[in-house]
Amino acid sequence: MKPLKVAVIGGGSTYTPELVDGFIRYYEELPIESIYLQDTDTNRLEIVGGLARRMLARIGVRLCTTTDRAEALHGADFVVTQLRVGGMAARALDERIPLDYGVIGQETTGPGGFAKALRTVPVMLEIARDVSQLAPQAWLINFTNPSGLITEAILRHTDVKAVGLCNVPINMVRTIAQALEVDPSRIELDYVGLNHLSWARRVWLDGEDVTARLLETAALWHGEFSPTLLQQWGMVPNYYLRYFVHTNHVLEEQQNGPQTRAEYLQEVEAELLRLYQDPNLNEKPTLLETRGGAFYSTAAVELIRAIAQDRREVHIVNVQNGSAMPDLPPESVVEVPAVISKSGPHPLAAGPLPASIRGLVVS
Amino acid sequence: MKPLKVAVIGGGSTYTPELVDGFIRYYEELPIESIYLQDTDTNRLEIVGGLARRMLARIGVRLCTTTDRAEALHGADFVVTQLRVGGMAARALDERIPLDYGVIGQETTGPGGFAKALRTVPVMLEIARDVSQLAPQAWLINFTNPSGLITEAILRHTDVKAVGLCNVPINMVRTIAQALEVDPSRIELDYVGLNHLSWARRVWLDGEDVTARLLETAALWHGEFSPTLLQQWGMVPNYYLRYFVHTNHVLEEQQNGPQTRAEYLQEVEAELLRLYQDPNLNEKPTLLETRGGAFYSTAAVELIRAIAQDRREVHIVNVQNGSAMPDLPPESVVEVPAVISKSGPHPLAAGPLPASIRGLVVS
Amino acid sequence: MKPLKVAVIGGGSTYTPELVDGFIRYYEELPIESIYLQDTDTNRLEIVGGLARRMLARIGVRLCTTTDRAEALHGADFVVTQLRVGGMAARALDERIPLDYGVIGQETTGPGGFAKALRTVPVMLEIARDVSQLAPQAWLINFTNPSGLITEAILRHTDVKAVGLCNVPINMVRTIAQALEVDPSRIELDYVGLNHLSWARRVWLDGEDVTARLLETAALWHGEFSPTLLQQWGMVPNYYLRYFVHTNHVLEEQQNGPQTRAEYLQEVEAELLRLYQDPNLNEKPTLLETRGGAFYSTAAVELIRAIAQDRREVHIVNVQNGSAMPDLPPESVVEVPAVISKSGPHPLAAGPLPASIRGLVVS
Amino acid sequence: MKPLKVAVIGGGSTYTPELVDGFIRYYEELPIESIYLQDTDTNRLEIVGGLARRMLARIGVRLCTTTDRAEALHGADFVVTQLRVGGMAARALDERIPLDYGVIGQETTGPGGFAKALRTVPVMLEIARDVSQLAPQAWLINFTNPSGLITEAILRHTDVKAVGLCNVPINMVRTIAQALEVDPSRIELDYVGLNHLSWARRVWLDGEDVTARLLETAALWHGEFSPTLLQQWGMVPNYYLRYFVHTNHVLEEQQNGPQTRAEYLQEVEAELLRLYQDPNLNEKPTLLETRGGAFYSTAAVELIRAIAQDRREVHIVNVQNGSAMPDLPPESVVEVPAVISKSGPHPLAAGPLPASIRGLVVS
């Protein structure tokens, strides 16, 4: 396999060292020739690029930084998009404005998520059209939120091969594995829904159905879902569902909280960028873990590996529905298990949604 | 992983050395503790069992022969069914009688296939009910024809975990790989249909669509399908489709042929059984390849390995439809790619059938 | 056509004179032989039956009152069910209790509607089973709320030919006709949904689409729906939808209102029963119009006429879904236009629901 | 209602006196102002127009003949299309050529029907585009074969309001009524399929299911269908199904017959035109009944009346599928019962096809 060129759009993100760390961990199995970090913020690009370059030095992968999208994309094998239109300041507004109207403020759901989609889709379509021109063979791995909507826009309006990725599924597997005290590789999920509106209908441990047992494992839930609701669903919800089902409770939390998530992250990011500038730092700092996006790099690099090596493994990704979820139109993008091969993601047949969640999902 | 007990119902089949050969080839990866050959024909059981025992001697796997189905099934991890109700003599009638009425005589399709189903389903349901009692955790790997109908009967009328297997898909991959002069592992199929009524809608080589190129590869077809039909379909048909689409031609061939397939195979089998009795023979004889069922053992043992080791690999198998092929009822058994894990086969979403084959498949 | 026997279960209802009035108005076209009023409340039966008897005297139809359900049902051609399990006192609780929990209290929707369903379904199934025994040829016209759920229970669990009726559709036609100042017969509706959760997707006047014009006709709405919502829907909602979409507003109204609807109706009913006792009264009093259920008798008698005379007219009724609304299971009961013939109601194909209401309807 | 202008494209057809007779029979209920006969064959136009004018004289309807399509269409309320591209000579080829290849020759099915569609669709689209320009409010009633395909082409490629009509459904009702010795109005059909590929799934007489009884009524079938097949279907087939199910038998009949249907009809038409020229003839001659198309005018005029008067009656017509038959795409044209109103035809929900005919219909 020829060594790969990877372009990271929004490469000045404080996430980037996490992604770079992933490429380093998998380097023996998945040789990379070069990583291009592209961003519009030259200051962040310099700081984050500096750390990334120091990290990659030991394995000899070339790291280039550029503000020129065309340079980054040209001939790339994989394009990872992790940008944030308007930066953390815009997210702060998405989370703050709805609260004034008595509605939950959240980055990817509700009015905040919709505002984010409105300002992000046009930019992502421009990027996708560049990919189509400059790297027509490339796969676009989208990590930009709202990941499902963005991926759907790209698949409907361009010919780019795009897959949407979110770290919710990989984290769900890991959280469940921890609760059961087993290795995550022994867990299999029957997972269904839309990005941030999804459930594991069934959970298997070594092929045995452990869903009912899990739903009673209080430790798994940190009180985020009422036991009655969990019993009614009979399915394992992802964390974001609390915004949909315990709306009043979450709203109260947010209205009484000292700051929004974005306000908090602005402080974390400032501190991260300060740390990244240390010329002696050549690995991702521990503080990065509090930034969110845990296991993001594992999910992304394993997905890239599956495509590049035509591995035909199952990953839970955001993919064009086709007939996977017959309750939704074929052109929708859904978050389901799919076989990942070099020919693309092939979703498993999920079948009709349970009545208990159907209305919420198709709305 | 604990060593496995495998029960082979119809173990006196001349195929058995092929299957045993498979278990030997994969032994390092898939340790077997014991193989039970069960059959109602004690003569065949002695001859075939003798060869199987000599073959297995070098890896130390225990081989038992028995006419007692309960003994074979009790506590088995996998049950392979490869029996033939009425033996080759019944098949000869299935192939001969329709010819007298101006209809193709064929073992698995048309009136011959239906006659075979009628006499086989009740026997297979009895076996499945025994499995349910004596080896409730076992997976039943059905190789008995008509494989789709038999598997559907078991899945609809018992609680046994059954998967239907046919060597058509694995042979299609290998034939295509030969025509393209590449390793079969580089070929991926978008395969859809029913057992012996199936097509590869798309063929990928290293992720690239090579379907159109293949359809023009005359060498692949041996003149079995008209180029016009291949162009219209735009899909790679399996061999058996000639019985459905070139009916008059095949009928003429059969009516003018010197003997039916069963009549020919009766001679082959007699010769095989003669060879098997040679006490110095401890591997499968080359003649067995002419028997049909090529790569049967590879398909079967790789499927067993995928289940036993929860590998979540894609195999093309006969599986309950669910929503995989929305043109057919959920309880139908269809032949499609499925992710094979310890929790069972999970079919990929095949979506609506192309109009050119829809009527034939749903009839 | 042989003269019909009509049984009214819950015949002591204050609605009954309305229904009787309908039979009188249509008598020439639809000859009735006898009407049996059955009720468990002998006092009401006597009062209401007395008035009904005086009303029917002039056309010579026999009116019988009885507490014996079997007597009423035996050999009936049509059975009209309009009972209220627990009476108006139970309804008052359905409307009052939810208010204490900050939820709308309503007779047919929300927790109040569900409570009503829970206590009514078993009684209705008993009645339906009696119909199945004593009047197997009869059609059961259900007017008991929640009309959709009750009809679904009967159709799923008995073999009785039941149709659910509600006066919302007929009133929607009349309200629209008034707003357009035309005769109701010139209005045609493309109506879709569930009982009390329904919309006219399109409204035609003499075959011309006037939906957009209607949505701007402020007079039609009495401020019950926000103009923005009406524009988004692009469909004419039924009155009950305000409980689903303007929840906070309605809740506030209810919490600040002087009394619940049931409390108000208890007063109206007391007054009605007082009036009914006047031996000189032989027609329905005007006060009955404030009771609700306007045009109930027109809807019911026209439906009975359509069945009895095999007229194959379109009525909007609650009927088994089949494939009419593909977003809902076939065994659901939906409220849609159906051709009414002697062989039963045959729903028109409504097709997929608009995305704007799909989630609400399938929940 | 304002008096109607009706344009008949292909008005020189020998059918025209039949259609004109229908308008006369229904004149009191459905006042017509003028009928325009348009044709490219001036000779036929003169002969047929002459008879039509004499027939209409007694009711005072104006009859115009023209070769100018624009003149005929301009401002028409209804456009009836009954043309035959290539005339009877082309039909003779459609019926004769397939016989040379051992295939049934038939005007509306098989290769003959397909050839007819290929040469007719472009002409009909031109006509429909003229209607769209010159009579945008008009309804196009298509009687040109193959009626389903033609109607589908118009509905997919123009904005004309078209309904396809065939006399098979009305004849089926009448044949059944005759067999049962009852008035046709007492018969109701659950009818499903495509034009000339259709069945009555259920037949009701006064609301009672008489399907099973009918299937045993030998007199109904004239030996056209085998009793075994009728029992298997459990449905009443239309006459044309014999071309699909008793193929060998029909082929033999055709190959041994003295002349094709077209060849026979050419003789009939010559005789009809000779009769039409008689200046004393002012009604349709009895010979016309042997021409086929019985009750064509009843079906056509009743359909026009239902639309013009917004009657919302059920007619069995060729209409855009939508969700009526979920086994076929929404844009297909199917032959099913539909409510006919001024807003258009609204098909009833037919639901999934029985397995016994599904493959044939969706092919």
Pairing of strands C187-194, C197-205: antiparallel
User: Cβ of D348 and C339 within 8 Å?
Assistant: yes
Condensed to tens digits (0 to 9), the pLDDT of residues C165-221 reads 999 999 999 999 999 999 999 999 999 999 999 999 999 999 999 999 999 886 677
The model's confidence at residue D318, banded by pLDDT at 50, 70 and 90, is very high
- Nearest-CA distance from C191 to chain A in Å? 20
Which pLDDT does position B290 carry in this prediction?
Answer: 75
Q: How far is B24 from chain A (nearest CA, A)?
A: 25
Per-residue confidence band for C290, with pLDDT thresholds at 50, 70 and 90: confident
A360 to chain C, any CB pair closer than 8 A? The answer is yes
Residues 49-78 of C with CB under 8 A from D: none
What's the confidence (pLDDT) of residue B293?
A: 66
Chain A adjacent subunits, 3+ CB pairs under 8 A: B, C
CA distances B156 to B125, B317, B326, D132, D149, Å, are 10, 17, 18, 55, 40
- Among D77, D310, D334, pick the best mutation site for testing chain C contact (most C Cβ within 10 A): D310
My answer on whether omega of the bond before B146 falls inside 30° of 0, hence cis, is: yes
Structural domains in chain B, sorted by start: 4-167 (3.40.50.720), 169-255+310-362 (3.90.110.10)
pLDDT score recorded for residue D109: 87
- Nearest by CB to residue B352, choosing from A190, A323, A351, is A323
- Cα D334–D339–D344 angle (5° rounding)? 80
More confident residue, B262 or B135: B135
Q: Which residues contact B315 (CB under 8 A, 6 or more apart)?
A: B169, B299, B302, B303, B306, B337, B338, B340, B345
Interatomic CA distance for residues C132 and B317, integer angstroms: 48
Q: pLDDT tens-digit profile of C213-224? A: 999 886 677 778
pLDDT reported for residue D220: 75
Instruction: Determine the pLDDT at residue D1.
Output: 64
Name the token pair of D340: 């006919």
The model's pLDDT over B293-350, given as tens digits with 9 standing for 90+, comes to: 678 899 999 999 999 999 999 999 999 999 999 999 999 999 999 999 999 999 999 9
User: Which residues from chain B sit within 8 angstroms of residue A334, using beta carbons?
Assistant: none
CA distance C42 to C58: 25
Cα Dmax for chain B: 56
Whether A207 contacts chain B with CB within 8 A: yes
Output the CA torsion B223→B227→B232→B234 (10° steps). 70
Q: What angle do CA A304, A309, A312 make, to 5 degrees?
A: 85
Are C27 and C3 spatial neighbours (Cβ–Cβ below 8 Å)? no
User: What are residue A14's phi and psi, to 5 degrees?
Assistant: -70, -15
Nearest alpha-carbon partner for A168 in A106, A259, A239:
A239
Residue D245's CB is within 10 A of a number of other CB atoms, namely 15
The reply to whether C249 touches chain A by the CB within 8 Å rule is no
pLDDT bucket at A288, cuts 50 / 70 / 90: confident
User: What is the predicted pLDDT for the residue at B332?
Assistant: 96
Contacts of C360 in chain A (CB under 8 A): 359, 363
Interchain proximity C204–D337, CB inside 8 Å? no
Flag if B323 and A351 touch (Cβ within 8 Å): yes
Of all residues in chain C, the percent with pLDDT exceeding 90 is: 78
Tokens of D130: 């003229």
Chain C positions touching A327 (Cβ under 8 A) are 327
Candidates C190, C207, C347; nearest CB to D348 = C347
Which chain A residue is nearest to residue B189, measuring alpha carbons?
A343
Q: Using CA atoms in the order C309, C311, C317, C323, what is the torsion angle rounded to 10 degrees?
A: 120
Chain C contact present for A358, CB below 8 A: yes
pLDDT given at position A1: 65
**Mutation site, A310, A321, A333, A335, interface B, largest B CB count within 10 A:** A310
> For the complex shown, is ipTM > 0.95?
no
Residues from chain C that touch D186, judged by Cβ atoms under 8 A, are 310
Closest chain A C-alpha to C171 CA, distance in angstroms: 28
Amino acid symbol at D56: L
pLDDT-derived band at A260, boundaries 50, 70, 90:
confident
Nearest to C6, CA basis, from C26, C27, C29, C33? C33
Q: Which of C127-141, C225-239, D211-225 has the highest mean pLDDT?
A: C127-141
Q: Which amino acid is at D19?
A: L
pLDDT at C248 over 90: no
Q: What is the pLDDT of residues B32-61, one digit of tens each?
A: 999 999 999 999 999 999 999 999 998 999
Rounded distance between C-alpha atoms, residue C158 and residue C130, angstroms: 10
Alpha-carbon distance of D83 to D13, in angstroms, equals: 7
Phi and psi at D34, nearest 5°, equal: -155, 150
Share of chain B above pLDDT 70, in %: 98
Beta carbons of A204 and B341 less than 8 Å apart = yes
Whether residues D339 and C339 touch (CB distance < 8 A) is answered with: yes
The answer to whether the CB atoms of C349 and D347 lie below 8 A apart is yes
Residue with tokens 């007939």: A323
**What chain A residue is nearest to C361 in terms of C-alpha separation?**
A359
**With an 8 Å Cβ cutoff, are D360 and B358 in contact?**
no
Cβ distance A349 to B346 less than 8 Å, yes or no, reads: yes
Is chain B in touch with chain C: ≥3 Cβ pairs within 8 A?
no
Q: In this complex, is the C-beta atom of B337 within 8 Å of any C-beta atom belonging to chain A?
A: yes
- B96 inside 8 A of chain A by CB: no
Distance to chain A for B248, nearest Cα, Å: 37
Flag whether residue B184 sits within 8 Å of chain A, measured between CB atoms.
no
Residue-wise pLDDT tens digits, B212-269: 999 988 667 777 888 888 988 999 999 899 998 888 889 998 989 888 888 888 998 9
Alpha-carbon gap, residue B73 to B8, rounded angstroms: 9
Can you give the pLDDT at residue B238?
A: 92
* d(CA D43, nearest CA chain B) in Å: 45
Please give the pLDDT value at position C338: 98
DSSP state of B129: H
Reported as a single tens digit per residue, the pLDDT across D170-195 is 999 999 999 999 999 999 999 999 99
Q: Does A137 touch chain C (CB under 8 A)?
A: no
- CA-based nearest distance C94→chain D, Å: 37
User: Quick one: what percent of chain A has pLDDT higher than 70?
Assistant: 98
Q: Determine whether the interchain pair D362/B360 forms a contact, defined as Cβ–Cβ distance below 8 Å.
A: no
Q: Is B358 on the interface with A (CB under 8 A)?
A: no
- Whether A339 has a pLDDT exceeding 90, the answer reads yes
pLDDT at B245: 86
Phi and psi, residue D320, nearest 5°:
-60, 135
Q: Which of B101, B197, B232, B358 to mutate to test the interface with D (most CBs of D within 10 A)?
A: B358
Contact D323 C322 (CB under 8 A): no
Test D358 with B362 for CB contact under 8 angstroms.
yes
* Distance between D250 CA and the closest CA of chain C, angstroms: 36
Interface contact flag, B362 D360, Cβ < 8 Å: no
What SS3 state is found at B222?
A: coil
Using pLDDT thresholds of 50, 70 and 90, give the confidence band for residue D293: low
Cβ distance A76 to A69 under 8 Å? no
Do D360 and B363 make contact, defined as CB atoms within 8 angstroms? Answer: yes
CB of A248 within 8 Å of a chain C CB? The answer is: no
- Give the separation between CA A191 and CA A177, rounded to whole angstroms: 15
| Mean local confidence (pLDDT), D93-112 | 90
In the structure, what pLDDT confidence band is assigned to residue A220 with cuts at 50, 70 and 90? confident
Residue that wins the pLDDT comparison between B2 and B237 = B237
Residue A296 a catalytic site member = no
Distance CA D46, CA C335 (A): 54
Which chain C residues have a beta carbon less than 8 Å from that of D190?
A: 346
Other beta carbons within 10 Å of C258: 6
How near does any CA of chain D get to the CA of B349, in Å? 18
C342 to D310: CB separation less than 8 angstroms, yes or no? no
Q: Which chains touch C (3 or more CB pairs under 8 A)?
A: A, D
In this predicted structure, the answer to whether residue A63 has a pLDDT above a threshold of 80 is: yes
- Percentages (nearest 5) of helix, strand, coil residues in chain D: 45, 20, 35
Chain A interface includes B279 (CB < 8 A): no
Q: Do D343 and C312 touch (CB under 8 A)?
A: no
A363 touches chain C (CB under 8 A): yes
What CA–CA distance (Å, rounded) separates D123 from D131? Answer: 13
Higher pLDDT, C252 or A291: C252
pLDDT tens digits, one per residue of B59-91? 999 999 999 999 999 999 999 999 999 988 999
Please give the residue that has the higher pLDDT: either A228 or D309. Answer: D309
Please answer whether residues D176 and D203 qualify as being in contact, where contact means their C-beta atoms are separated by less than 8 angstroms.
Answer: yes
D345 CB within 8 Å of a chain C CB: no
Task: Establish if A308 touches chain B: CB-CB under 8 angstroms.
Answer: no
Q: Which of C240, C243, C276, C296 is catalytic?
A: C240
Chain D residue nearest residue C349, CA to CA: D349
Say which residues have a Cβ less than 8 Å from residue D212's Cβ, sequence separation at least 6: D234
Taking CA atoms, what residue in C is nearest to A329? C355
